[in-house]
Structure 1
């Protein structure tokens, strides 16, 4: 799917090349009436075969971006490419779940999928029964196929929605907040399912405001804030932008800080609020050597831990704000 839009007075440009990318955007912008800019000049690259986390607080522009990629919202400016194909050819290869599942509550899961399939003009009717059965099996709902949707748990409902997106062969699966509102068990079910789908070669694009979920599920991520792209890359590269730290739990905070400084550790900090701990950048020091040095100096070590940076740390480091801030 390729779309090129034009700002007033600006020349048209070529659509961005797709290459090994499932999604490419260049300068993608959406401004609503009243001047509100929901997405501001977004440059995004989603590699084929990745599980790509699209992160941001509620209101950061994630759903608006997805709607533009699916042709549901017209961009104000910019360009994008999905699978490098024209719209009519791309859409049958894209499965999507946007803003939660919507099914008939009095129909069974299987009957709902037949209705979804019948509404797709590109779906071959002669294979509907086989494809519905395969989709239910793939998401682990074969045993509940005849159960009414209203009696499904939240996790089962999300899995049925993903099954609806997988009724045909898909090169790209776009999921908007697939774990939103789920209990821990439902979240684990959806997470495991996403990994299984990706293992079969489908690129999965997952929007979420839950950083820990993306860290456990995704290979790549992009972070949004108030319509702007803050960072993007592999999970390892994003986390690697911040230093790994060591945290020492001790009642001898001042002495511990002195010893860490003597060892050459950078950015030594004592905890706020009187907590009995001190942290520093780990650098090239081995944690066991740090522990031994503290003990030799008479510091009472209650605990020592290596703290690796998380995506939340990355977000706070880039914006200075917590991830619960609404855009």
Structure 2
């Protein structure tokens, strides 16, 4: 570990949680073939410890199959992976005890209350301590905000409440990694906000969260890192800001003096300048916007509106895959 990381208590704690590895999840050439279809093709996933990692891609891109391989639910055709620094499947039992997951929706007994469902799940865990069961279940319900509805039957829960109960089930034991497959799928805006705030709180406590989703708006609000899947391949991954920084920003100036604006901006180093009526566009590169505004004003250019449009996560996805993406506000 580099000296700077060793001096950082948060980094040291994260490394301890992931067995000394900087990654909570690491795969090497992970591949799954069904008949003639390569559902997952040579994926090298790197989920930094302590991150909120958005695993992106449209339905059918291989996200859920990848997650099922990570959790030991499906055997890979080839490749290998580590969870919390432990090789899988050799250390599956010890590693997965530190992992909570919600895959392909919650499954509970509809006629039982949320509390009764959690009691059954906790009792089924061979490692759980019956003496602390009530306290742990109460803490999990409090964590997801379901204490007032603990005695309500599961069938009467809203979709958002059902998702939160599933997350509570994943948190009955201490976890270092939480894996959520489409946790906001089918939720209304209120349910989506509930899950988003819950994930933010878990991340603030140092739990690494891996979220599979096809909803860009949600991922962009809560994730620190992303990986983009397309047709079974991981086509990009990294920090959100880092990936977006690699995309070209566009400068937009509204002015009744487009010719003068283009002359000034060209001198200042703006590239790919073009004018359409009173709208001038270009590529500012790393030039600070305040400098460009100052140059325009100093030259007497009348600026009605000035902006630099940064590429969105959706722009990044489309540039990588050429495909559209479902976006929900």
Please say if residues 51 and 206 of structure 1, whose CA atoms lie closer than 8 Å, have aligned partners that are also in contact: yes
Q: CA RMSD in A?
A: 2.6
Please say if residues 241 and 314 of structure 1, whose CA atoms lie closer than 8 Å, have aligned partners that are also in contact: no
Aligned to 2:312: 310
Residue 146 (structure 1) shift: 1.3
Residue 151 (structure 1) shift: 2.3
Match among 291, 311, 324 for residue 322 of structure 1? 324
d(CA) in 2 for partners of 1:263 and 1:89?
59
2:225 pairs with 1:220: yes
d(CA) in 1 for partners of 2:257 and 2:123?
70
d(CA) in 2 for partners of 1:63 and 1:255?
54
Aligned to 1:208: 213
Aligned to 1:239: 244
Q: Identify the range of structure 1 (151-160 vs 283-292) with the bigger mean alpha-carbon deviation.
A: 283-292
Q: SS at the partner of 2:168?
A: helix
Residue 52 (structure 1) shift: 1.2
2:280 pairs with 1:267: no
d(CA) in 2 for partners of 1:118 and 1:140?
22
d(CA) in 1 for partners of 2:217 and 2:129?
40
Q: TM-score, normalised by structure 1?
A: 0.83
2:182 pairs with 1:177: yes
Please say if residues 269 and 284 of structure 2, whose CA atoms lie closer than 8 Å, have aligned partners that are also in contact: no
Please say if residues 93 and 169 of structure 1, whose CA atoms lie closer than 8 Å, have aligned partners that are also in contact: yes
Matches within 5 A, 1:55-66: 55-66=56-67
Aligned to 2:138: 133
82 and 288 in structure 1: CA distance in 2 versus 1, 3 angstrom threshold: closer
2:105 pairs with 1:105: no
d(CA) in 2 for partners of 1:150 and 1:278?
57
TM-superposition CA deviations, 1:195-218 (whole Å, max 9, x none): 111221211111111223222211
d(CA) in 2 for partners of 1:108 and 1:47?
37
Matches within 5 A, 1:1-327: 19-33=21-35, 35-85=36-86, 86-249=91-254, 260-261=265-266, 263-268=268-273, 277-291=279-293, 301-324=303-326
Q: TM-score, normalised by structure 2?
A: 0.83
Q: Which runs of 4+ in 1 moved over 6 A?
A: 251-255, 295-300
Residue 286 (structure 1) shift: 4.0
Residue 293 (structure 1) shift: 5.7
Q: Identify the range of structure 1 (181-190 vs 64-73) with the bigger mean alpha-carbon deviation.
A: 181-190
71 and 285 in structure 1: CA distance in 2 versus 1, 3 angstrom threshold: closer
d(CA) in 1 for partners of 2:162 and 2:260?
55
Q: Which runs of 5+ in 1 are unaligned?
A: 1-16
Please say if residues 18 and 82 of structure 1, whose CA atoms lie closer than 8 Å, have aligned partners that are also in contact: no
Q: Identify the range of structure 1 (252-261 vs 215-224) with the bigger mean alpha-carbon deviation.
A: 252-261
Residue 58 (structure 1) shift: 1.4
260 and 151 in structure 1: CA distance in 2 versus 1, 3 angstrom threshold: farther
Q: Which runs of 5+ in 2 are unaligned?
A: 1-18
TM-superposition CA deviations, 1:225-252 (whole Å, max 9, x none): 1111111111221111113322234687
Count of residue pairs brought into register by the alignment:
305
Q: SS at the partner of 2:201?
A: helix
